């Protein structure tokens, strides 16, 4: 079973633009995590947002959580070529979706 | 920083061989996980362990087994490798169970790309 489903599957933007990725999940959660994966490597944790939080920031990253809609979004502001990667969300039971593949063109 | 080390970056094995994938973490984490990642399918949970000598099946345990004799080491075993087990295998650990209240995130190794011919 997949708890986190990311949308869109792929996103291509120019450097300097903002990138928004969405995550939907199916059951109630205690927290939701966002991860990043560079090509051929392991995943790296970005942000964990708890169910009683609505928004969380880390540098150029902003995560929102809407538990009534069972959805979360990850915003990357002022994107850089180095942000090119796949982004995943995970909620209960450590299940992941297929990810959003972000390409940032220089 | 937590370090999760997977013993091999690339591995090529023959059909029918018994394959051991090793994972070691250095932060005294209770919880360890094995995933496989295939294009278009994302990460799928194979097995996880909340304590030494303890294991739980994930979504796709068939054809796999695990061993956790010591807290820091979690091994994935392919009993008789088959070509459909060709994949990227990712090990992870966490201090607290990620999805639980008070949970903490997963720390991943760099993966083992296994090819079964």
Output the six-digit token pair for B39.
């294009």
Cα–Cα distance, A16 to A30 (Å, whole number): 33
> How many Cβ atoms from other residues are within 10 Å of residue B13's Cβ?
16
Query: Which of A100, A18, A21 minimizes the C-alpha distance to A60?
Result: A18
Tell me whether A35 touches chain B (CB under 8 Å). Answer: yes
Output the six-digit token pair for B38.
């295939």
pLDDT digits (tens, 9 = 90+) for A25-69: 988 888 999 999 998 889 999 999 999 999 999 999 999 999 999
Nearest by CB to residue B42, choosing from A30, A94, A99, is A99
Q: Is A78 exposed, middle or buried (0-12, 13-18, 19+ CB in 10 A)?
A: exposed
User: What contacts B23, CB < 8 A, 6 or more positions away?
Assistant: B4, B5, B6, B7, B32, B34, B73, B74, B75, B76, B91, B93, B109
Tell me whether A30 touches chain B (CB under 8 Å). Answer: yes
Token pair 């639980």 is found at B100
Q: pLDDT tens, position by position, for chain B (117 residues)?
A: 769 999 999 999 999 999 999 999 999 999 999 999 998 888 999 999 999 988 999 999 999 999 999 999 999 999 999 999 999 999 999 998 877 777 888 999 999 999 999
């Amino acid at each position: 079973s997949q708890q986190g489903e990311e949308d869109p599957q792929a996103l291509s933007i120019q450097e300097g633009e903002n990138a928004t990725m969405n995550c939907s999940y199916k059951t109630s959660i205690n927290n939701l995590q966002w991860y990043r994966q560079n090509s051929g490597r392991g995943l790296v944790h970005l942000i964990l947002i708890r169910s009683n939080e609505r928004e969380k920031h880390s540098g150029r990253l902003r995560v929102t959580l809407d538990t009534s809609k069972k959805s979360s979004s990850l915003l990357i502001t002022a994107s850089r070529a180095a942000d090119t990667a796949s982004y995943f969300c995970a909620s209960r039971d450590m299940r992941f979706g297929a990810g959003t593949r972000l390409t940032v063109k220089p | 920083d937590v370090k999760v080390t997977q013993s091999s970056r690339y591995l090529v094995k023959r059909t029918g061989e018994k394959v051991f994938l090793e994972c070691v973490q250095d932060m005294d984490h209770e919880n360890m996980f094995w995933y496989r990642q295939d294009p278009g399918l994302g990460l799928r949970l194979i097995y996880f362990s909340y304590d030494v000598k303890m294991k739980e099946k994930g979504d796709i345990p068939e054809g796999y087994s695990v061993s956790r004799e010591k807290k820091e080491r979690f091994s994935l075993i392919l009993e008789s490798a088959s070509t459909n087990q060709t994949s990227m295998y990712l090990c992870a650990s966490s201090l607290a169970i990620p999805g639980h209240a008070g949970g903490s995130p997963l720390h991943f190794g760099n993966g083992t790309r296994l090819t079964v011919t």
